[in-house]
Amino acid sequence: MGQKVNPIGLRLGIIRSWSSRWFAKSNFKDKLLEDQKIRKEVKAKLYYAGISNIEIERKMNKLTLNIYAARPGILIGKKGSEVEKIKNFVDDITKSEVSVNIREVNTPETDAQLIAENIALQIEKRTHFRRAMKKAAYLAQRKGAQGIKIQCAGKLGGVEMARTEWLKEGRVPLTTLRANIDYGFAESLTTAGIIGIKVWVFKGYVMD
């Protein structure tokens, strides 16, 4: 039996913080579902901007959305026009007063979520999965990642039998809590079926 744990969830409160930061005595369920809906719909609407993470902060009747993207210029738009569209879009989902902050991902080559989405896109375009994995691992290490692990699972190469393929470069100490492990997951919709891509990136130790 596998003993797999999400590396982000394992490190919450130790070296990682929560992506939703708020407290509710009542209506906890409604706010949680609202957060999930905001993340899902914003990601789907602005997928082309390379969104890595969406953080949500709530204070009284105010909601702050921090969007981390590889291409922030697309999200900001001309004179901030796109930010206003995002704000109006989120306003329709929530009853709170919304403010949006766009943050840039400095090195998208070492961001696990963006790596997984990039591999998924390449597989959809008929690139061989092993080639896409090797290229992603090479770029991540070149940009400063100390280690990377990639898993692709499904009907790889359009074959009838589903299988799992791995690629590991460098060190990825998953059980060390002070190790800064970034984790990402994406799905590639191919004609043979869905292929799941998981990526673990080791960015060094948090010594503080």
- Check residue 186 and give its pLDDT: 96
- Check residue 1 and give its pLDDT: 63
Cα distance between residue 75 and residue 73, in whole Å: 5
Quote the Cα angle for 110-64-55, to 5°: 25
pTM exceeds 0.85 for this model: yes
At 136, which amino acid appears? A
DSSP β-ladder status, 194-205 and 147-154: antiparallel
C-beta separation of 101 from 93 below 8 A: no
**C-alpha distances in angstroms, 159 versus 121, 130, 165, 198?**
19, 14, 13, 20
Which residues touch 86 (CB under 8 Å, ≥6 apart)? 42, 46, 65, 67, 75, 100
Quote the Cα angle for 174-178-179, to 5°: 45
From the CB of residue 169, how many other CB atoms can be counted at a distance below 10 Å? 18
Cα 22 to chain centroid distance, Å, stands at 21
The kind and range of the H/E element at 185 are strand 179-189
Going from N- to C-terminal start, the domains of the chain cover 17-104, 108-205
Handedness of CA 190, 191, 194, 196 (dihedral sign): negative
Cα distance between residue 134 and residue 111, in whole Å: 16
C-beta separation of 122 from 116 below 8 A: no
At 69, which amino acid appears? A
Fold entry, domain 17-104: GMP Synthetase; Chain A, domain 3 (3.30.300)
Q: What is the CATH number of domain 108-205?
A: 3.30.1140.32
In tens digits, what is the pLDDT along the chain, a chain of 208 residues?
677 889 999 999 999 999 999 998 888 999 999 999 999 999 999 888 999 999 999 998 899 999 999 998 888 888 778 888 889 889 888 888 999 999 999 999 999 999 999 999 999 999 999 999 999 999 999 999 999 999 999 999 889 999 999 999 999 999 999 999 999 999 999 999 999 999 999 999 998 7
